[in-house]
Amino acid sequence: MGRRYFGTDGVRGRVGEAPITADFVLKLGYAAGRVLAGSGAARGAGGIGGAAATGRPAVIVGKDTRVSGYLLEAALQAGFAAAGVDVLLSGPIPTPAVAYLTRALRLSAGVVISASHNPYEDNGIKFFSADGNKLPDAVEEAIEAAIDGPIGCVESRELGRARRVDDAAGRYIEFCKSSFPGALDLRGLRLVVDCAHGAGYHTTPHVFHELGADVVPIGVSPDGLNINDGCGATEPEALRRAVLDHGADLGIAIDGDGDRLVMVDGDGRVYNGDELLYVIVRDRREREPVPGAVGTLMSNLGLEQALGRLGVEFERAKVGDRYVLETLQRKGWRFGGESSGHLLCLDCHTTGDGTISALQVLSALRRSGATLAGLCADLKMYPQVLVNVRIERGFDWQSSAALASAREQVERELGGAGRILIRPSGTEPLLRLMVEAPEAGLAERMARRLADAIGGAS
């Protein structure tokens, strides 16, 4: 059955337009609450007001700093309450913090109101299961099936209740610090930490400061409208400039909901998710077996080759951290990520966490005494060229003889020293072409040859 509302990372869209409207989110909260209640879920937060104390399911609702969070939080809370589900409200807090608190407080589910790296006009709703993972497909399908039903209400005595979790940020800060080796600290390091004016503004800088670093925080003045605006992991130029201006050793940037990571060294060089995943895996590989790691179809060929030289198998999943996680779980591996900075260290957390991922990179630097550039010296990243080709709707690109012929010619010219990825856009009539080659000029020529075979590029 095709999904109507849930994408790879929950429900997302522009606020005020379907499905991110107050009435829909109210229905979503009620439907999710009824599914949880019907499943017999009875995990709760004990004396904080969870199921152990009341007999009702309990969920935690967190959000990022978008102004629309107030609206959607109220709608969700009302829907859950009508379904007889207790709600714990954390206020602004990173997405991975909600995953952690759901487990730590023994709750039935966790809910995050966020559109991650998107601008403030967008927002979304995503769910975590009781064990801190993304909801299983069957549960999402059950919620979708219940959304279009009528909204009812349990008896007054069974209505869900809401309360604030005042120590949510502190609990999460301590959890992050616990992922850093107890024998190490960050004394002597000056770090610029860019929180994208997002959910990590009052947690992430404290983690590094409490471990001993001299922290220069930026992107920590949210006003509801400036999340991800010219800052954070999606726009690291602000971090790069701040590192150079402050003479910092390193820069750390997360995105609006705190699950992505980009880093900058003291020379102003930016390191993306592929490079940081390599640093983490290389460090772990020196101390324990690491049978494999997972990337995506967009992960750089240089990462795959460098991990191969370490004896670490590499597997590619579809684009999206959900698919990286599914592949890791299927293989029984622990480390994976995307070029964009979603990194998974399953020995530390159940989901991607920009702060915890940064701590794993910092622990590798501390243990080795090397620089980021030094740890990445054996990683030769291939230039990637991306070209969007506009196509007519319904165009069967997989049956195009011209494209097949051009692809054969390009593969022959690359001679195994490069990679081609062709995939359709999920939202526009575009075909996305990506070519990797040892030289940028070669990659550009090969990408244009493929585009010309279809009829031109945008």
Cα(333)–Cα(355) distance, integer angstroms: 21
107 shares a domain with 138? yes
Domain with residue 411: its CATH number is: 3.30.310.50
pLDDT of residue 136: 83
189 shares a domain with 300? no
Boundary residue ending a domain (252, 269, 286)? 269
pLDDT of residue 53: 56
Provide the percentage of residues in the chain whose pLDDT is more than 70. Answer: 95
**Tens of pLDDT along 344-373?**
999 999 999 999 999 999 999 999 999 999
Asked if residue 129 has pLDDT above 60, the reply is: yes
Q: How many domains does the chain have?
A: 4
Q: Kindly list the distances between the CA atom of residue 286 and the CA atoms of 78, 283, 290, 311, 368, in Å, as whole numbers in the listed order.
A: 51, 5, 9, 11, 10
Write the CB contacts of 199 (distance below 8 Å, at least 6 apart in sequence). Answer: 62, 63, 64, 65, 92, 93, 94, 95, 97, 114, 256, 257, 258
Find residue 177's DSSP bridge partners.
Answer: none
Boundary residue ending a domain (247, 269, 291)? 269
Mean of the per-residue pLDDT values of the chain: 93
The dihedrals phi and psi of 35, each to the nearest 5 degrees, come to: -65, -45
197 shares a domain with 264? yes
Asked if residue 329 has pLDDT above 80, the reply is: yes
19 shares a domain with 146? yes
H-helix or E-strand containing 88? Answer: strand 86-92
Domain presence at residue 28: yes
Mean pLDDT confidence for 369-380: 96
Domain presence at residue 1: no
Asked if residue 55 has pLDDT above 60, the reply is: yes
156 shares a domain with 23? yes
| CA nearest to 61, candidates 27, 31, 99, 34 | 99
pLDDT of residue 131: 94
Domain with residue 179: its CATH number is: 3.40.120.10
| CA nearest to 180, candidates 150, 206, 211 | 211
Asked if residue 52 has pLDDT above 70, the reply is: no
pLDDT of residue 47: 38
Mean pLDDT confidence for 398-416: 92
Asked if residue 394 has pLDDT above 70, the reply is: yes
279 shares a domain with 143? no
Domain presence at residue 363: no
52 shares a domain with 135? yes
pLDDT band at 257; cut points 50, 70, 90: very high
Top-confidence residue, 434 or 45: 434
Mean pLDDT confidence for 122-136: 93
17 shares a domain with 147? yes
Domain presence at residue 4: no
Asked if residue 49 has pLDDT above 50, the reply is: no
**Tens of pLDDT along 94-125?**
999 999 999 999 999 999 999 999 999 999 99
Mean pLDDT confidence for 211-219: 98
Cα(446)–Cα(386) distance, integer angstroms: 11
* Residue 200, domain extent: 172-269
Domain presence at residue 395: yes
**Residue 116 annotated in active site:** yes
Cα(22)–Cα(9) distance, integer angstroms: 20
Mean pLDDT confidence for 392-400: 86
Task: Exactly one of 90, 108, 116, 129 is catalytic; name it.
Answer: 116
292 shares a domain with 306? yes
Domain presence at residue 90: yes
Top-confidence residue, 306 or 136: 306
158 shares a domain with 107? yes
Domain presence at residue 112: yes
H-helix or E-strand containing 37? Answer: helix 22-38
157 shares a domain with 17? yes
Asked if residue 233 has pLDDT above 90, the reply is: yes
pLDDT of residue 127: 95
Asked if residue 458 has pLDDT above 90, the reply is: no
Asked if residue 391 has pLDDT above 50, the reply is: yes
- Range 421-451 burial, b when 16+ CB lie within 10 A, else e: bbeeeeeeebbbbbbbbeeeebbeebbbbbb
- Please give the model's pTM, rounded to 2 decimal places: 0.91
Domain presence at residue 362: no
Asked if residue 51 has pLDDT above 50, the reply is: no
Boundary residue ending a domain (131, 151, 166)? 166
pLDDT band at 39; cut points 50, 70, 90: low
Torsion of CA 165, 167, 169, 172, to 10 degrees: -100
Mean pLDDT confidence for 312-321: 94
pLDDT of residue 320: 87
Lowest mean pLDDT among 230-244, 300-314, 422-436: 422-436
183 shares a domain with 162? no
Asked if residue 1 has pLDDT above 90, the reply is: no
